[in-house]
Amino acid sequence: MNTLDPNLISEFRSVLAGPVFTPDNDAYNAVRQLWNATADKHPALIVQCWDRGDVIAALKFARQHQLEIAVRGAGHNIAGNASCDGGLMIDLSNMQGIELDQAAERVYVQPGVILEQLDAATQAHGLAVPIGINSTTGIAGLTLGGGFGWLTRQYGMTVDSLVGVELITVDGEILYANEAENDELFWALRGGGGNFGIVTRFDFSLVSVGPDVLAGLMVFPLAQADAVLKRYAEWILTTPLTFNAWVVLRAAPPLPFLDASLHGTPVAVIPICHTGDLASGEKLVDTLRSFGEPVGEHIGVMPFVDWQQAFDPMLTAGARNYWKTHNFTQLSPELLQLAVDFADQQPGPECEVFFACIAGVSNEVAPEAMAWQARDAKFVMNIHARWQDIHDDGSHIDWARALFNAAQPYASAGAYVNFMTEEEGGRIESAYADNYQRLVAVKQAYDPDNLLHFNQNIKPD
Ligand SMILES: Cc1cc2nc3c(=O)[nH]c(=O)nc-3n(C[C@H](O)[C@H](O)[C@H](O)COP(=O)(O)OP(=O)(O)OC[C@H]3O[C@@H](n4cnc5c(N)ncnc54)[C@H](O)[C@@H]3O)c2cc1C
């Protein structure tokens, strides 16, 4: 292919501040890796951009030489869309600038920033952006798809805190978008994914959090899960928005506070995070404890930044992963029973079924206010099949799909695009529901040739 002519690549290198990797570079294999090992892709070229000039040059080069384009933040997306076979990966992971303006209550974030870096920068001032719960996740993909975590009940989705973006269009134009300027583009970027251009800066408003919170885990044997979760499902919706508790059904990891005899046995883990006053948080924990007989507990006051990293050891890169997701307005006893039954039959020790509670401020926003529309969702389920050996692909994927199908009758409209491993026929369209056609129009306006198609793709008109 003409584009791989070494002279062309040298010429391309000469206009860039950042490095270019081709398959003959020693570092190529390390640089091309994504979080999910099932996405094993080999781009022809990887450009590690240092600045927006590099992004513009990379887009121009890809267009001139008809190379497919994949855009990478931190490479966490389960679908592996941050890379492609044979095309150009525009890797933004080195663009890690964060600028915080305390007086304006704003933080300006480049697209290679991971959550750990953003939490560290904001929590140094007792501030935060409501983001996800795994510190190695990229802010770019998380925000563009919606974004939720421990603070979502109280402060909404990550996109609810997004106040502006700087973006490079596929034609290489630099645009700023917010509610006043390029407002239709801004509307689409708040949940519509990487469909409309390459974001080179995210501007967020800030809220006050911690820096200490009451957080930790309560563990019940799976045999008690049915009874405990039925009470949890109604109770959690009555608790203050400063309190959040999720449900994780899985084999007990070898946590130091669990008796060794429990390691590997099926359990229901309830992780909690409370940003309000300690006394009220402790009372809520007492109530939760009374729902059953916990076999282990590790809850206390800790820095929010530490809690944000608590799950990192179980979510390391390099494993094989397959996810399926639904939204729910309530967790019915039938649904919970189903989840418990499937958790009891999970095909491997690293799989889990989790229910994240997002009930609160997010439910008060109109569905048409921005692309992310599932404003009735109070819970998000992720069926997370995770394993190491390629020979176990079938059993794990089948398990995730079977639970997904069985849970379908209880699901509410929409779905979280950031938890979709693959398009399954109309699922992206249904994820955006009534907002889909408006997204198609924005796509048509900003990327009519669908050059940015390695994403949860919204096709132009
Ligand atoms: C272990 C783990 C934990 C997670 N926990 C949470 C959680 O708690 N809450 C939550 O909401 N989500 C969570 N997620 C999902 C996460 O939000 C998505 O995987 C997200 O896509 C990750 O962003 P990234 O930048 O790392 O992804 P990448 O794979 O780098 O990018 C994903 C896609 O985003 C687009 N993109 C990336 N950067 C840009 C850019 N600058 N401009 C335009 N398009 C761009 C591209 O289409 C790309 O394919 C988790 C994921 C993992 C793997």
**Same domain as 385, residue 339:** yes
Helix (H, G, I), strand (E, B) or coil at 213: strand
Is residue 447 assigned to a domain?
no
Is residue 106 assigned to a domain?
yes
Q: Is 130 in the pocket of ligand 1 (CB under 6 A)?
A: no
Q: Is 144 in the pocket of ligand 1 (CB under 6 A)?
A: yes
**Listed residues 209, 232, 251: the one ending a domain:** 209
For 347, the token pair is 């095909």
CATH at 290: 3.40.462.20
Ligand 1 atom with the smallest distance to the CA of 167 is 42
CATH at 19: 3.30.43.10
**Listed residues 181, 209, 237: the one ending a domain:** 209
- Print the domain residue range for 57: 9-91
**Same domain as 173, residue 246:** no
How long, in residues, is the chain?
A: 461
**Same domain as 367, residue 300:** yes
Ligand 1 atom with the smallest distance to the CA of 157 is 11
**Same domain as 109, residue 194:** yes
Residues with pLDDT less than 70, the chain: 1-4, 423-424
CA of 12 to the centre of ligand 1 (A): 28
Is residue 450 assigned to a domain?
no
DSSP string, 337-404: HHHHHHHHT-SSTT-EEEEEE--SGGGGS-GGGSS---TT--EEEEEEEEES-GGGHHHHHHHHHHHH
**Same domain as 103, residue 80:** no
Residue with CA nearest ligand 1 atom 52: 76
**Same domain as 103, residue 84:** no
Q: Is 315 in the pocket of ligand 1 (CB under 6 A)?
A: yes
What is the DSSP-derived secondary structure letter of residue 64?
A: H
Is residue 369 assigned to a domain?
yes
**Same domain as 235, residue 368:** yes
CA of 114 to the centre of ligand 1 (A): 10
Is residue 168 assigned to a domain?
yes
Q: Is 111 in the pocket of ligand 1 (CB under 6 A)?
A: yes
**Listed residues 164, 179, 209: the one ending a domain:** 209
Is residue 425 assigned to a domain?
no
Q: Quickly tell me which residue has 């513009």 as its tokens.
A: 56
CA angle 245, 75, 396 (to 5 degrees): 65
What is the DSSP-derived secondary structure letter of residue 161?
A: G
pLDDT of 1: 42
Cα 235 to chain centroid, rounded: 26
pLDDT of 2: 40
**Same domain as 118, residue 30:** no
pLDDT of 268: 98
**Same domain as 160, residue 22:** no
Neighbour-count burial of 311, counting CB atoms closer than 10 A to its CB (0-12 exposed, 13-18 middle, 19+ buried): middle
With contact defined as beta carbons under 8 Å apart, do 91 and 100 qualify? no
Is residue 460 assigned to a domain?
no
Is residue 54 assigned to a domain?
yes
Percent of the chain as helix, strand, coil, to the nearest 5: 35, 25, 40
**Same domain as 354, residue 259:** yes
**Same domain as 177, residue 229:** no
Q: Among 94, 246, 418, say which to mutate for ligand 1: greatest number of ligand atoms within 8 Å of CB.
A: 418
**Same domain as 255, residue 121:** no
Ligand 1 atom with the smallest distance to the CA of 158 is 11
CATH at 133: 3.30.465.10
pLDDT of 3: 52
